[in-house]
Amino acid sequence: MNYAEIPSPCYVLDEGLLKKNLRLIDDVRKRANVEIILAFKGFAMWSAFPILNAHGFRCATASSLSEARLAVEEMGDFAHTYSPIYTDNDIDEIAALSSHLTFNSLSQFERFSKRAKAANKAISLGLRVNPEFSEVETDLYNPCAKGSRLGITSEHLKFLPDGVEGLHFHALCESDSHDLKKVLDNFELRFGALLPQIKWLNMGGGHLMTRKNYDVEYLITLLKDFQNKYPHLKLILEPGSAFAWETGVLVSTVEDIVENHGQKTAILDVSFTAHMPDCLEMPYKPKILSALSETNTDFPTYRIGGNSCLAGDFMGEWSFEKPLQIGDRIVFNDMIHYTMVKTTMFNGVKHPSIGIWREHTGFELVREFVYEDYKNRLS
Ligand SMILES: Cc1ncc(COP(=O)(O)O)c(C=O)c1O
């Protein structure tokens, strides 16, 4: 990518890197004989969906009416939908847009399953269960933390109500296949007796199969073994991050450098809280392409600050070979998943544009954001 050609600020998806991930995921689904669908909550850049379609990915998992519509309108297939709640206002439309609909609780199933069937006779209904085991250490991302509202625990699910055809669990986050093995063991222990009664099992997301050192062969073996044990089950995985993992960048620019008690901060034309919220929430320190791999105060070292007024809109520190100058490009790596889908227009700061770096033709600007985008979210 030639960053000088790219307007700042801008998220840029690298088409070649996305295709590389798609080839790997395609290989896994074929060899393991499972369905792997994209979780829109992690990546919903619909201008890139033709690339997914070309690799045979048409199906997505939705967590709301809007995502279910996007699945039908832009990916080209009915959604596998799971949402913590459905409401009187959205259940009929969601059901009409979904091939699979998973309920988070028995009370939601009782309240809405008949209406879902009436809206879409072909729909297959499921329940989300909570395996009460997860290796995820950050509670914000741990659906199995004690007291979690997500999924029915085995204590409350001794038998399946009529009409339930599938089960769903989600207990991983940026995890390895060996973590999945532990979750599967716990799931089987708690819910194994119900498996003969269902047709499909959705193992949720968090399978980061495109990360370096992920044990892909073990994933395939694990899924095949499970399939051999329960040959009547259709297995489904719904990762989000794995599709868009390390497929692009956020290009930004240094607009000022300020100093307070010896603390230097380079302020950019992007914001951590508005444009890279996971950095603050997880938290994790993103990689800046021009920075040294480790902070080293023998080199010019800076906090990097965002352009919102939030006092905590900064991270740091990063060291650079040379002192930063106003106008320098700062390029954050791996900024495609859980960024565009989570951004806000807090403070009215300019939303980064969205672009694609095409394999053969280079940069293509897909979308710029303007004052009306900010205004139309308010009234
Ligand atoms: C129910 C469910 N499915 C799938 C996913 C996608 O997970 P990931 O993007 O980590 O693969 C999530 C993420 O929170 C989720 O809650």
- So what's the pLDDT on residue 139? 87
In terms of phi and psi (left: phi > 0; alpha: psi -120 to 50; beta: otherwise), the region of 259 is: beta
One-character DSSP codes across 12-65: EEEHHHHHHHHHHHHHHHHHHT-EE-EETTT---GGGHHHHHHTT---EEESSH
CA 371 to ligand 1 center in whole angstroms: 32
Q: Which amino acid is at 168?
A: H
Whether residue 1 is predicted with pLDDT greater than 90 in this model: the reply is no
Residue 339 corresponds to which tokens in the numbers above? 């960024």
Ligand 1 atom 10: the closest Cα is on which residue? Answer: 206
- So what's the pLDDT on residue 283? 92
CA distance 176 to 167: 22
216-229 vs 177-191: helix axis angle to the nearest 10? 20
- So what's the pLDDT on residue 137? 85
CA distance 172 to 179: 8
Instruction: Read off the pLDDT of residues 122-179 as tens digits, 9 standing for 90 and up.
Output: 999 999 999 999 888 888 889 999 999 999 999 999 999 999 999 999 999 999 999 9
- Cis status of the peptide bond prior to 283, with omega within 30 of 0: yes
- So what's the pLDDT on residue 300? 98
> What mean pLDDT is predicted for residues 24-50?
98
> What mean pLDDT is predicted for residues 63-68?
98
> What mean pLDDT is predicted for residues 204-224?
98
Q: Using alpha carbons only, what angle is made at residue 276 by residues 274 and 281, rounded to the nearest 5 degrees?
A: 95
Whether residue 192 is predicted with pLDDT greater than 90 in this model: the reply is yes
338 lines ligand 1 (CB under 6 A): no
pTM: 0.97
Whether residue 279 is predicted with pLDDT greater than 90 in this model: the reply is yes
> What mean pLDDT is predicted for residues 187-213?
98
CA 93 to ligand 1 center in whole angstroms: 23
Q: Which mutation among 25, 38, 41, 167 tests ligand 1's pocket best, with the greatest number of atoms within 8 A of CB?
A: 41
Instruction: Read off the pLDDT of residues 293-332 as tens digits, 9 standing for 90 and up.
Output: 999 999 999 999 999 999 999 999 999 999 999 999 999 9
- So what's the pLDDT on residue 138? 86
CA 15 to ligand 1 center in whole angstroms: 23
Closest ligand 1 atom to residue 173 Cα is: 10
Question: 332 forms bridges with which residues in the sheet?
Answer: 250, 288
Cβ neighbour number for residue 74 with a 10 Å cutoff: 17
CA distance 56 to 77: 12
Q: How confident is the model at residue 267 (pLDDT cuts 50, 70, 90)?
A: very high
Instruction: Read off the pLDDT of residues 83-122 as tens digits, 9 standing for 90 and up.
Output: 999 999 999 999 999 999 999 999 999 999 999 999 999 9
- Dihedral sign for Cα 214, 216, 218, 223, please: positive
Residue 138 corresponds to which tokens in the numbers above? 């950050």
Whether residue 196 is predicted with pLDDT greater than 90 in this model: the reply is yes
- So what's the pLDDT on residue 65? 98
- So what's the pLDDT on residue 273? 98
Q: In the chain, pLDDT over 70 holds for what percent of residues? A: 100
- So what's the pLDDT on residue 305? 98
CA 173 to ligand 1 center in whole angstroms: 7
- So what's the pLDDT on residue 5? 87
